[in-house]
Amino acid sequence: MKLKGYAGKQLRVQLTDAVIKEEEINLELLKKYLGGVGYGARLLYDELAPHIDALSAENKIVFTTGPLTGKNIPGGGSVEVCFKSPLTNLWGESRCGGNFGPELKASGYDFLIVEGKSDRPVYLLITAGGVQIKDAGHLLGKTVGEKTQIIREENKDAKLSVMCIGPAGENKVLFSTIMDEDRAAGRCGAGAVMGSKNLLAIAVRGSQKIEAEHPEKFRDATRKAMKAVRENPNTENFKEHGTVGDIASCDLLGDWPTQNWRSNSWGKGEELYNYFYEHNLVGNFGCYSGCPVGCGRMVKVDEGRFKTPVHGGAEYESITAFTAFVTNDNMDAAVHSTYLCNEYGIDTISMGAVIAFAMECYEKGLIKPEDTGNLDLSWGNPEVLPLLVKQVAEREGLGNLLADGVMRAADKLGHSAKEFAIHGKGLEAPAHDPRSSKALAVTYGTANRGLCHIHPLEGQAYDLGKSDFGLIPHGLKDPEEVDRWDAKDKGKMVKILQDGLVLPDILVNCKFMMYCGFTIKHFADIVSGLTGWDITEEELLKIGERTINIQRLFNVREGCSAADDMIPERMKSLPQFGRYKDEARCAIVNYADMLEDYYLARGWDKNGIPTRDKLASLNL
């Protein structure tokens, strides 16, 4: 009997010997993990040996979809990429919006596993005509836009969905991305893993329809979810302002990391956003066909030395990384630099963070003018931003040091550099500040892929944004009754939030749907209609918990423990300047207590290791 709600097969491509294999999916495993970062984590836990070099042929990279991937499902334009991260040497995952996920599924594959290493540059072509490994020598050194265009032209299909790396991935920059046009599988260095395999791109076009077991129930559940999204006030906010519209508010609320985390506010957020709205913003767009939100920004710089064509970009995180992180108040330079990051295939967050780190090194004399090729790395200098992006992408000059991220750069520079290399598990910190909301401190510290902007965000949205995500019936305390400055019960609440908010990454659906009205009940109803499995909210949350635990086990096997769940001292300290300088409640003085509270709620021991009882209760 055909599996409903899924394509039902996985594709395995072994590049070393150019072997292409179609495999049946293990149904028992699928029911335990559903897809996405759950299925991907189980597969990599089982198939990767511990302590392998993430940039060797032994690493694998898995492109995953899930039951909620598809053009007929709100938020369904998603793909989750899973791998061992070369930046953290731990669990790596990265989500990308766009049409690639739906196209992969429509081509007949829920999962694409790439392993081994090609001896020459290649790309994969997956169409109704079959799967081919094609020569990609002519794509070497090309930008993301160029690679995408060439692949479409030479295959005479303008609608091919293409995910590719830029020069940064080819040069194995440890925070390089895989791009789907303007959207990125951005964090943890997926681009370097692809580059290490000599795989420059994957192009896919599918035509198969995914059938539902109970079509009427599926349609009804989807309609209800869509209605919830349309009626949610956050949807309109996202449409009108995008994520970047948040910078003025975050600045005022003490949620805007500034000058390499010396402060949590700058005072320029409003002025910068007003400039952006007037000069850079062209309009909004959805990153995949049929998105009901359309949070994407079409932006440009009309003239001057930072002139930039109209493109999709300027997200909250990217713009913060190139403004507040480095105290640059030239918005044109920020828009231009993030555009370059996209074209070169670089994670904008890590890139802004390494520049902020370099600027502090320069201020302290750890990086000298002769080390920079006489670039002036003074705080806020807009001129050096695009230059450093290119240097990192090409690993030229100072760029070669920065291309390995702040943790390794600090190790090489020595002295006090470690004190202001702001990362968690090796991943550079993103653009929300836990000094504004204590739950964010715990989600930051305990996120399996490191200090990222996706998983921990529920901590901020709960404490500061007062979102409950429909989790109150599952034990979450009403956020309206919670003080964002208070540490009490935050560890416990974070466990519930994480189990629920990992679901979009398992079902492979855009997380913003949960920020715009999707609840666990919507997920349960849609999955039940699709698969006929009659899955409950409780079962979904259990799958969320199982996924977090299998990812944790992946990390524990690599040597990860409670010490790796610590967050940088500067992130916990009172801001050195700005409107919250004298606000004592900003300081995080009881992080260890919150962490202990979290481990207890998780059923992990004091060292952050899942107990045997906990694993048994999760059938692990």
Partner 1 sequence: MIEITVRAVSTLKTKFQTPAVVPLPEGSTVKDLLSACEVDHNRVIVLLNNMQVNINHKLNHSDQVTILPFIIGG
Q: What residues line the site for partner 1 (CB under 8 A)? A: 233-234, 236-238, 240-246, 248-249, 252-253, 270, 273-274, 277, 295, 315-317, 457, 461, 464-467, 480, 484, 511-512, 515, 579
In the bound state with partner 1, the residue whose beta carbon lies nearer, of 311 and 511, is: 511
Q: Which is nearer to partner 1, 144 or 272 (CB)?
A: 272
Closest separation between CB of residue 293 and partner 1, Å? 10
Do 164 and 202 touch, CB atoms closer than 8 A?
yes
252 phi and psi angles, rounded to 5 deg: -65, -30
Q: Name the residue nearer to partner 1 (CB basis): 233 or 414.
A: 233
CA distance 321 to 357: 11
Closest to partner 1 by CB, 270 or 376: 270
**Shortest Cβ distance from residue 320 to partner 1 (Å)?**
9
Complex with partner 1: residue 316 or 604, whichever CB lies closer? 316
CB of 519 to partner 1, least distance (A): 14
Shortest Å, Cβ 466 to partner 1: 8
How are strands ordered across the β-sheet holding 308-313?
281-285, 296-301, 308-313
DSSP category for residue 3: P
Alpha carbon distances (Å) from 391 to 1, 168, 341, 417: 54, 10, 11, 21
DSSP characters over 58-107: T-EEEEE--TT-STTSTT--EEEEEEE-TTTSSEEEEEEESSHHHHHHHT
Question: Which residue number, 242 or 399, has a Cβ lying nearer to partner 1?
Answer: 242
Tokens of 403: 């291309």
Considering the complex, state which of residue 270 and residue 411 has its C-beta at the smaller distance from partner 1.
270
Q: Min. distance of Cβ 507 from partner 1 in angstroms?
A: 17
User: Are residues 313 and 182 in contact, defined by beta-carbon separation less than 8 angstroms?
Assistant: yes
Distance, in Å, from the CA atom of 620 to the CA atom of 548, rounded to the nearest integer, reads: 12
Report in angstroms how near the CB of residue 479 gets to partner 1 at its nearest. 10
d(CA 476, CA 191): 37
State the minimum distance, in angstroms, from the CB of residue 455 to partner 1: 12
Nearest CA to 204 out of 304, 117, 96, 50 is that of: 96
User: What DSSP assignment string belongs to 136-196?
Assistant: -GGGTT--HHHHHHHHHHHTT-TT-EEEE--HHHHTT-TTB-EEETTEEE-SS-HHHHHHH
161 φ, ψ to 5°? Answer: -90, 125
Looking at beta carbons only, is 62 or 272 nearer to partner 1? 272
In whole angstroms, how close is the CB of 450 to partner 1 at the nearest point?
19
In our burial notation (b when 16+ CB lie closer than 10 A, e otherwise), range 215-251 reads eebbeebbeebbebbeebebbebbbebbbbbbbbbbb
CB of 9 to partner 1, least distance (A): 34
Nearer to partner 1, 417 or 457 (CB): 457
